[in-house]
Chains A and B, each alone.
Chain A
Amino acid sequence: MAKIHVNTTINGAPTEFLCDANQTLLDVLRDSLGLTGSKEGCGSGDCGACSVMVDGRLVCSCLVLAVETQGAKIDTIEGMAGGDTLHPLQKKFIELAALQCGICTPGFLVASKALLEKNPNPTETEVRYWLAGNLCRCTGYDKIVTAVLEAAAEMREGAR
């Protein structure tokens, strides 16, 4: 079957690719475009390791067909740092040891950024429920939640 031509904007850059009808966005990002920062932990939308933004909406890229992203704006972990400066969330994750093995980290960062864009001042409970779609098996979530709360406080401070 012929491949399908798709035009998107990924991390701000116009990006086109060819895909099969049954390929997921995650497959295309990882296998065709070399953006391996998004991870496949389950392929069923349960672990959140493949979290990306599509037109400003947080999605599991393993549950999105690549052909659905025609004309879409996609943001992945690779676009999170600005030039040579890490995003405050990225800095806090390192500073507070919010990662151990690091496989879930890209997904958590993308999801956390999406939260803070919606709600710059979340409570601990709001952070915990927002991130309930992201599995981490190493940290017990404690330091992740703390890092998100501290990054949020710092970003609010910086925005003033």
Chain B
Amino acid sequence: MSSQGKYKWIGTRPDRPDGADKVTGRARFGADFSLPGQLVGKVLRSPHPHALIKSIDTSKARALPGVKAVITAEDFPEQANLIVPAGEMQVNLRDVTRNIMAREKALFEGHPVAAVAATSEAVAKQALALIKVDYKVLPHVIDVADAMKPNAPVLHDHLLTEGANPPATKPSNIAKRIEFAKGDAKAAFAKAEVVIEKSYTTQPVHQGYIEPHAALASATEDGQVQLWTTTQGHFQVRGFCSRLLDIETSQIRVTATEIGGGFGGKTVVYLEPLAIKLSQKAGKPVKMTMTREEVFRATGPAPGADMTVKLGATRDGRIVAASIRIDMQAGAFPGSPVGPAAMCSFACYDLDNVHIVGFDVVSNRPKVAAYRAPGAPISAWAVESTMDLLAQKLDMDPVDLRLKNAAKKGTKTAYGVTFGEIGMVQTLEAVKNSAHYRSAVKPGHGRGVSAGFWFNVGADSSAAAHVGEDGSVTVISGNPDIGGSRASLALMAAEELGIDYDKVRCIIADTASIGFNFVTGGSRVTFATGLAVVNSVRDMIREMKVRAAKIWGVDPDAVTWENGMAKPAGSNVGEFEPLTIAQIAAQAGKTGGPINGHAQLNVTGAGPGFGVHLVDLKVDSDTGQVTITRYTAAQDVGTAIHPSYVEGQLQGGAVQGIGWALNEEYIYSAGGKLQNPGFLDYRMPVASDLPMIETILVEVPNPTHPYGVRGVGEVPIVPPTAAIGNAIARATGVRMTDLPMSPPRLSEALDTAPARMAAE
């Protein structure tokens, strides 16, 4: 099922176009941009997790020499209660303006309450210390279960639970109740031969991009704004800033710098509107960068959740009923990814009876942001752990249990979509046939398997293609390249054109230089922007055929495009030597001027992705430390355009999942303050923690894309936590239900296991 041999360029592994820039230090990331005369912007943040802001006195800060502007919420207009898309999540503008700058209340420790611009960082910090905020500290609530209690401190007085039945009449922290049902789960559970029910928790984890947020804004007296920022979507940034600051989009030109990782966390705005407002007030450019501590305290982690899963099956392993309840943290404002968590929870399986309930719950934490397949890894932790319990109970091979219930073409999901061409079965079979799965589990080790699903996204993309006067080609798109997408786009353009990969240069344009592009997110760029690139190149080829026809004096329909050249479509057209792009370009002035192609699309038909991960590990029974000794990630990747970067997505996602499983968590004090806002205490995986990550690319082409592309970036973070939990259970006999399975938690569980197992 490999794409190799079918194409000249697709499926090959050339050097990425931005490689030299990125290995020499030339590539300019967010904090690497500067302007003459720029000021330094800094943010004052709330020390309290929940407090009324009675007043803010900025007079002393303003009087400090070197301070050029001070802003508070008063500088931003009130926003309507209006939901708009933000990456893969939805946000309410009324909340967004409060998230970037607290208004009535500070809702989490680290919540911005004011910002200054000054001639140096030292002066800016001095100015922050001179701002006097009069707080009335309120009782706070951090965890979901506490936040849902009837007597919990309420964050938002206007918040009535949406979707509650009967309708909510008084405010609470439960923003929303969602429900999906298919068939009759209740009746099916009653008839099931085996029923397993278990509860699980996960903790918030940060996306952990190595590059902190950074933005440089320059506002001029005539109302124009330029902004350089590290973001997954500069059009999104433009849209938010336009709304939050009441500036027309055409007046804001946003350049996306190179981006040092995002994983969903850079699809929203934090510094950008503040930098613009400060620049407007100061009349000078303002540069703002976050410290790592600010990144942890005040930018979106992924949520934690409390969940209960129930599976009912026949003795031979057919699942007849499934249910899950998900209580998910949203952070300080409504809008957790409980929806996608719910929809993805059982999407790997072909089930007749499903019942899903989810709650979106606010508490005094930073507002969550998207993190790679937002929500899906959380529900997968609960569902895939329960799948393993079922396999153990039925004494069935865990891959066979999944094969027996796997979703396939025609499967109707609980959320209503019927799958087309998908690769869940093929991916499971690839794992079953892998050298890893066929190898014996080493003594003292455990082996775990888990599956995972993500929808993938299409959405809006624009692209342009230009022929240079020498016949080389520039392809212009508008999605920040986080992981090698320029290479994938160039490969598809070269394939379409029939010219060498090196003859195509891929450029990412600012918001004023190309049409709208939705964010780099949802695993959409190679798929959707790739399609826009393909279409723009086809538009350019069409134009080149017109030009060749003109040169030959024939009808454009009589010209065909082959191997980078215009040729007569048949012998009846006439005897003409093929024209190369360079030859057509050389005569462009005489045949109609510049040769360009354009495409603007709302792309639908994203092919959903399925992954299956396999892990071998051992557990140190004294310390509770887990050592992963072998790891294989298999995934239906559609067509691997540049296989190295596809493998890289699988490897990187798997390792983020390993961190989620084994170490990463937000730790709060009783006072509601984050205790581990740094890379020393928020422990992400390092090279010495890991083995090589083996990959199996299963290619089931997505029929809606000319090259069969399916998004690949997000699926790989979905399976790891449960694969690891399942391996630990098989290595030790202890089933972990709470993430992370860090040494302290695991050693405690191992110590208390005999007593607990006896009690059960």
Contacts and interface: CB of A to CB of B under 8 A. Distances in A.
B24 A102 contact: no
Contacts of B688: 125, 128-129, 131-132
Contacts of A137: 207-210, 261, 263, 652, 656, 684
Interface in A110-160: 124-125, 127-129, 131-146
B435 interface: no
Interface in A37-70: 37-44, 46-47, 49
Given A100-B484, A137-B261, A145 B645 contact: no
B210 A135 contact: yes
A78 B289 CA distance: 23
Interface string B701-734: 0000000000000000000000000000000000
Contact of B679 (A78, A135, A140): A135
A139 B651 contact: yes
Given A86-B20, A106-B25, A143-B648, A43 B291 contact: yes
Contacts of B28: 36
B2 interface: no
B291 to A, nearest CB: 6
B23 A105 contact: yes
Given A102-B18, A135-B686, A141 B23 contact: no
A103 B23 contact: no
B680 A140 contact: no
A46 B680 contact: yes
B687 A35 contact: no
Interface string A55-91: 0000000000000000000001110110000100010
Contact of B24 (A37, A44, A47, A132): A37
A40 B292 CA distance: 9
B483 A101 contact: yes
A47 B260 CA distance: 13
Interface string B186-226: 00000000000000000000011111100000000000000
A43 B208 contact: no
Given A39-B260, A103-B261, A140 B25 contact: no
A123 to B, nearest CB: 12
Contacts of B261: 100-101, 103, 137-138
A96 interface: yes
Contact of A97 (B644, B679, B685, B689): B644
Given A139-B648, A143-B644, A78 B25 contact: yes
Nearest to B482: A101
A19 interface: no
A143 B483 CA distance: 13
Q: How many A residues touch the partner, as a band?
A: 35 or more
B42 to A, nearest CB: 14
B679 A86 contact: no
Interface in B674-695: 678-680, 684-690, 692-693
A33 interface: no
Contacts, number: 181
Interface residues of B, number: 58
A94 interface: yes
A25 interface: no
Contact of A44 (B13, B209, B653, B680): B680
Nearest to A97: B644
Contacts of B15: 94-95
A102 B686 contact: no
Interface string B284-323: 0000010110000000000000000000000000000000
A142 B693 contact: yes
Given A39-B210, A97-B484, A102 B258 contact: yes
Given A139-B651, A139-B652, A144-B687, A99 B644 contact: no
A76 B656 contact: no
A97 B23 contact: no
B210 A41 contact: yes
B259 interface: yes
Contacts of A99: 19, 22-23
A28 interface: no
A94 B19 contact: yes
Nearest to B230: A103
A38 B210 CA distance: 13
Contacts of A30: 31-32
B490 interface: no
A9 to B, nearest CB: 18
Contact of A105 (B22, B31, B652, B653): B22
Contact of A46 (B16, B259, B647, B678): B678
A47 B210 contact: yes
Contacts of A78: 24-25
7 contacts: A35-B25, A47-B292, A81-B24, A90-B24, A100-B483, A129-B688, A141-B686
Interface of A: 30, 35-44, 46-47, 49, 76-78, 80-81, 86, 90, 93-97, 99-106, 109, 124-125, 127-129, 131-146
Closest 4 CB pairs of A and B: A37-B25, A103-B260, A140-B655, A102-B22
